[in-house]
Structure 1
């Protein structure tokens, strides 16, 4: 059995890069402290952003499988029959 955690690592990297409120604080140019310019004041919005990204990642973004087909993670699990567009999800089509 060949198993790895590449898909999980890729998803975690997507979260860190695409949701700016989860970025680490920046060090100021003077070096006197950290700047929290992207900090989130309400954790509920972070949860919403992660849920939207997870849905987009699982239903809209295709990856090449071992047999050469382009499928989304939801298609690989048998949850979805097709690749969705973001408009399909937002407008419940």
Structure 2
């Protein structure tokens, strides 16, 4: 894979600037549920060697985004899809009082909860997403978020 990045560039030289070239490549490892996908990079990688770029590409996945979307789907009844009635005469919106304004508020609260309160263990480390990124040293609880303490 390192040999691929000797020639493949995600950016092209235009005058004196490097500009995003929109040249994705196929990820070398397929996932069980989605198969092969393409990978692109908008960050300037000209200071990296090809072996370093190939290590970064092998670590690319969308598991964190998928996990967050699954949490949204399972935890917010406001975004629930309509159910088909037992008689089959139409759709029932009994659990779905969809209002975009309130849906955005609920998503903001869930995103904040997920980043600052929800801890998980991965790659030998544990903590919240904010702790793992170094944004905070403590795990917050939901009351801290709601009352902004």
What's the TM-score, normalizing by structure 1?
0.88
**Structure 1, residues 32-66: CA drift from partner, whole Å, max 9, x if none?**
11111123253111111111111101100111131
Q: Distance in 1 between matches of 2:122 and 2:73?
A: 24
**In structure 2, how many angstroms separate the alpha carbons of the residues matched to 1:38 and 1:13?**
18
Off by >4 Å, runs of 4+ in structure 1:
none
Higher helix share: 1
Relative to its length, the structure with more strand (as a share) is 2
Give the counterpart of 1:79 among 135, 138, 144: 135
1:65: which partner in 2? 122
Matched, 1:21 2:78: yes
Aligned position for 2:49: none
Quick one: distance in 2 between partners of 1:20 and 1:90? 19
Higher-RCO chain (CA-CA 8 Å, sequence separation at least 6): 1
Root mean square deviation, CA, Å:
1.3
- Considering only CA atoms, is the larger Rg found in Structure 1 or Structure 2? 2
Which blocks of at least 5 consecutive residues in structure 1 are unaligned? none
Which of residues 1, 4, 10 in structure 1 aligns to 2:67? 10
Contact 2:83/2:92, CA 8 A, preserved across alignment: yes
Any gaps of 5 or more consecutive residues in structure 2?
1-55
